[in-house]
Amino acid sequence: MIELCVEKSLHGVSGDYRLEVDLRLAAGEVVALFGPSGAGKSTLLRMLAGLVPPDRGRIKVGDTLWFDSTKQICLPPWKRQVGMVFQDYSLFPHLNVRDNLRFALADKKDLKAVDEMLALTGLGNLQTRFPASLSGGQQQRVALARAMLRRPQVLLLDEPLSALDHVMRTQLQDEILALHRRFGTTIILVSHDLAEVFKMVQRVCCLEEGKIRDDGPPLKVFSPQHMLGRWQVHAEVLAIVPLDVLWSVTVLMGNQITRIVASTDEVHDLRAGDKILLFQKAFHPMLIKIP
Amino acid sequence: MPFDWEPLLLTFKLAIVVTAILWVIGIPLAYWLAHSHVRWKALVETLVSMPLVLPPSVLGFYLLLIFSPNHWFGGALQHSLGIQLAFSFPGLIVASVIFSLPFMVHPIQAGFQSLPPALREAAYVLGKSRGETLLRVQLPNMKPSLLSGTVLAFAHTIGEFGVVLMIGGDLPGETRVASIAIYNEVEALNYSAANLYAGVLFAISFAILLMVYVLNKKLLDTI
């Protein structure tokens, strides 16, 4: 059980705002933080890790109080049993893969744990390589293995896969899920990718300007209530071309590009780049813009 | 007259001791300057950098005043610990440490600042304290900065003249370092001896700097 109840004044692009979050996670839960840049998602993770102190509040993980402003408790990051994976991997450039993993050991002699983790993540044949000679995906795999060796009570993933290509991303998503199944670690994932959120988590918290606006299963959070039960798919508008009395809209769904026909009403406030929801009404697909 | 090697030996003894002391003082100071956000940090930075702009004779003059047994500081040292800093080798060490401080601190401070913060944050989150992170992550990743600081401080101590003359005077075997010896020999119109001292200093400085540039390239290639 993780209790995260924090407040902090933040400086965003559009002015100052207050981060006010009260979140409870069950042990072993996988939760996504979703929201626009500068909403406070990363700050929230950094508060849990102890890298940024909240102005006020309380963070309790399991039976341990990590932060409590009323009791003047604030554990430094190295006393919190937490794993963190950064977007830019943050491997130690002067250590090879094996030594990067060994660095995470609390007990320096527990080399068996390192070997196990190397085998588990398929890094065995890369163990003497240095980070600079690894691909992005390999580096992130090392970072993940290193974070797990700390045996964290909570694993914080700050957009860990956003710098990777689609194939690598899918592979690492599977590996994170496999690690979760094996160790049962509670995971908080910051992500901008809807597909990733749907695949990885059972619960998503939408953060906007420092407040949680929505909290629930991804399907419920991202689909308007009245639309439930119908065929529907998220897409992005690429182009809108007039077609006699109708319009032809080219949309991107995942990696697929499709052209559909739409009425003037449907396209009047649409522009290329808009996110839309496609759904089936009677016989042909219709679309509405997602605000 | 046989050539007197003592000034050269004294010079290197001084440079080695001073560089060693500067490691102990300079690394924590640079760490603090690179990471602290206190308001009076600018004051400390200014004080550290003063030897860069002050004429050595100015610094030497004030140090001489303070070190003098008539000053409360010099007097207290002499009475309590029996250390006399004016016109003595320990005095040269103290003065050279102050004078070479910016040459050690600046490159190391820049080295700390150029490391991505995520590197030490990653170490903290992996359960390593500040001290352990410094020794195992930060310092190993800034070897070129450590090397530049060390060499600049060492070379600068070897080449120092003004401060040494003011504080140490010209006592053979105690404070007569090579740069002073050169000055003496020239004054005595003994050019061949001056030439030998100067030649040795020149060759050694050249060799040290050459080694740094070669090593630095190697270090940079491995990181």
pLDDT for res B220: 66
pLDDT for res A291: 64
Per residue in B58-106, pLDDT (tens digit) is 999 999 999 888 888 888 888 888 888 888 899 999 999 999 999 999 9
Nearest-CB residue to A150 (from B118, B126, B137): B126
The answer to whether B126 contacts A104, with C-beta atoms less than 8 Å apart, is: yes
Nearest-CB residue to B118 (from A86, A132, A150): A86
DSSP state of A2: E
Domain residues for B21? 6-222
> What domains appear along chain A, each with residue ranges and CATH number?
2-222 (3.40.50.300), 226-289 (2.40.50.100)
Nearest-CB residue to A94 (from B116, B122, B223): B223
DSSP state of A195: H
pLDDT in 10s for each residue of chain A, 291 residues: 899 999 999 887 777 889 999 999 999 999 999 988 888 899 999 999 999 999 999 999 999 999 999 999 999 999 999 999 988 888 999 999 999 999 999 888 888 999 999 998 889 999 999 999 999 889 999 999 999 999 999 999 998 888 888 888 888 999 999 999 999 999 999 988 888 888 899 999 999 888 998 899 988 888 765 554 566 778 888 988 888 888 889 998 888 888 888 888 888 888 888 888 887 765 666 777 776
The answer to whether A78 contacts B124, with C-beta atoms less than 8 Å apart, is: yes
Confidence band of B42 (pLDDT split at 50, 70, 90): very high
A30-34 and A203-208 strand pairing: parallel
Identify any residues that bridge with A216 across adjacent strands, giving them in sequence order.
A204
pLDDT for res B1: 55
Distance from CA of A82 to the nearest CA of B (A): 6
**Are residues A235 and A46 in contact, defined by beta-carbon separation less than 8 angstroms?**
no
pLDDT for res A263: 85
pLDDT for res A284: 61
Identify any residues that bridge with A82 across adjacent strands, giving them in sequence order.
A154
Task: Return the number of other C-beta atoms located less than 10 Å from residue B147's C-beta.
Answer: 17
How many Å separate Cα A64 from the centre of its chain? 25
Pick among B37, B114, B125, B222 to test the A interface (most A CBs inside 10 A): B125
Give per-residue burial for A167-194: e unless 16+ CB within 10 Å, then b: ebbeebbebbeebbeeeebbbbbbbebb
The answer to whether A93 contacts B123, with C-beta atoms less than 8 Å apart, is: no
What's the alpha-carbon Rg for chain B, to the nearest Å?
A: 20
Percent of chain B at pLDDT above 70? Answer: 97
| CATH code where residue B41 lies | 1.10.3720.10
The answer to whether A150 contacts B123, with C-beta atoms less than 8 Å apart, is: no
Q: Which residues of B touch A (CB under 8 A)?
A: 116, 118-119, 121-129, 136-137, 140-141, 223
Which one-letter amino acid corresponds to residue A104? Answer: A
pLDDT for res B80: 84
pLDDT for res A154: 94
Q: Is A231 on the interface with B (CB under 8 A)?
A: no
Residue B104 located in a structural domain: yes
Q: How many domains does chain B have?
A: 1
Stretch B108-118: mean pLDDT: 94
Q: Is A148 on the interface with B (CB under 8 A)?
A: no
Q: Which pTM was predicted?
A: 0.81
Residue B50 located in a structural domain: yes
Residue B1 located in a structural domain: no
**Are residues A23 and A29 in contact, defined by beta-carbon separation less than 8 angstroms?**
no
Q: Which of B5, B22, B13 is nearest to B181 (CA)?
A: B5
pLDDT for res A141: 92
Identify any residues that bridge with A10 across adjacent strands, giving them in sequence order.
A17
